[in-house]
Amino acid sequence: MSLDDAQVFTRVVELHSFTQAANSLGMQKSTVSRRIALLEERLGVRLLNRTTRKLRLTEVGQAYYERCRQIMLDFAEAEQAVMQLQQAPSGLLRITAPIEFGQLFLGQAVGAFLREFPQISAEVEITSRSVDPVEEGVDIAITVGQPQDSTLIARKLFESPRRFYASPDYLDRHGQPATTADLVGHRAILLPQDNPRYWPVVGEQRLCNRCLSCNNITFAREAAIAGAGIAGLPSMICRESVESGQLVELLPEAVLPAGEIYAVYPSRRFQAMKVRAFLDFVIQRLPSTGRDLLEP
């Protein structure tokens, strides 16, 4: 089978007409009919049942059409990839991101990206809500954690380590834990990914005394600074508070689940140059973990 045969056959099937297929391909109707007849003769099967009014695929023709259609999609994708190599990324790029990631990193990253790619404009929503990039027409949704929807593509950007933190005032009043076993009885500030009964220590189950649950890491940090309890927080948002003496890092040997940041987008097929360029740009500038995200 030649690529031309696949193109002629799929066009006839999709337009349900030899005449319309011939017009779209710039051929004579007789040429299209002859090409389909020769194709059937070479394969030794009937692909189409034809009447004066209708075309209907045979069972074999349906299977053959699905293969031909995939071939044409792959060919179109290959052509687009080659053409994109000759084009500069352009157009409107729509991005959503969690609040803290947006504030700490994304603003600078997007600004630098737009400086390098002036033909691109950006629309960015910094939000704590869950975003479906397909439903909302978003090019890239940056999320904490991998999405459950297997039809989406998730590209891991980096991990942000978590550590335990508390204020000096809290530690003066309740004592400083020396081991993870000492966490039992301490007041816990928990995030949605934390078990409400146990401290979030990997491989251990230490009962916690929950005093506060919240869905925002900045809120949890501020509550810890105010002396409410001990919080397991991403180290990237606590560095300045530790340096200023507002927070104390506790139990450096304790292993907490890291916060994983993903870029989520609908599909790799026919991926726009603006999306590919932005992802490559951001990943080049991100550390492998969030440990150095705030380093000058």
For residue 271, pLDDT beyond 60 = yes
Tell me what the mean pLDDT of segment 160-185 comes to.
95
For residue 212, pLDDT beyond 80 = yes
The H or E element spanning position 165 is strand 162-166
Per-state percent for the chain, helix, strand, coil, to nearest 5: 45, 20, 35
Confidence of residue 242 (pLDDT cuts 50, 70, 90): very high
Beta strand 120-126 pairing with 91-97: parallel
Q: What domains are there in the chain, each with its CATH number?
A: 3-85 (1.10.10.10), 91-159+259-292 (3.40.190.10), 162-250 (3.40.190.10)
Max Cα–Cα distance, the chain, nearest Å = 92
For residue 287, pLDDT beyond 70 = no
* Predicted TM-score (pTM) above 0.85: no
For residue 142, give the amino acid letter.
I
Confidence of residue 149 (pLDDT cuts 50, 70, 90): confident
DSSP 17-68: -HHHHHHHHT--HHHHHHHHHHHHHHHTS--EEE-SS-EEE-HHHHHHHHHH
Q: Return the pLDDT at 91.
A: 87
DSSP-derived letter for residue 178 is: S
pLDDT in tens, 116-137: 999 999 999 998 888 888 888 8
> By the 8 A CB rule, do 173 and 148 touch?
no
CA distances (Å), 224 to each of 1, 42, 205, 212, 252, in order? 69, 76, 22, 10, 17
For residue 191, pLDDT beyond 70 = yes
Q: Return the pLDDT at 291.
A: 43
For residue 244, pLDDT beyond 90 = yes
Confidence of residue 103 (pLDDT cuts 50, 70, 90): confident
Q: Return mean pLDDT, the chain.
A: 87
Q: Return the pLDDT at 293.
A: 44
Q: Return the pLDDT at 93.
A: 93
For residue 45, give the amino acid letter.
V
Confidence of residue 167 (pLDDT cuts 50, 70, 90): very high
Q: Return the pLDDT at 83.
A: 64
- 220 vs 147, which has greater pLDDT? 220
pLDDT in tens, 60-93: 999 999 989 888 888 877 777 666 655 678 889 9
pLDDT in tens, 24-44: 899 999 999 999 999 999 999
For residue 289, pLDDT beyond 60 = no
Q: Which two tokens stand for residue 185?
A: 């009885």
Q: In whole angstroms, give the CA distance from residue 238 to residue 244.
A: 10
Tell me what the mean pLDDT of segment 140-148 comes to.
85
Tell me what the mean pLDDT of segment 148-161 comes to.
82
Percentage of the chain with pLDDT > 70? Answer: 92
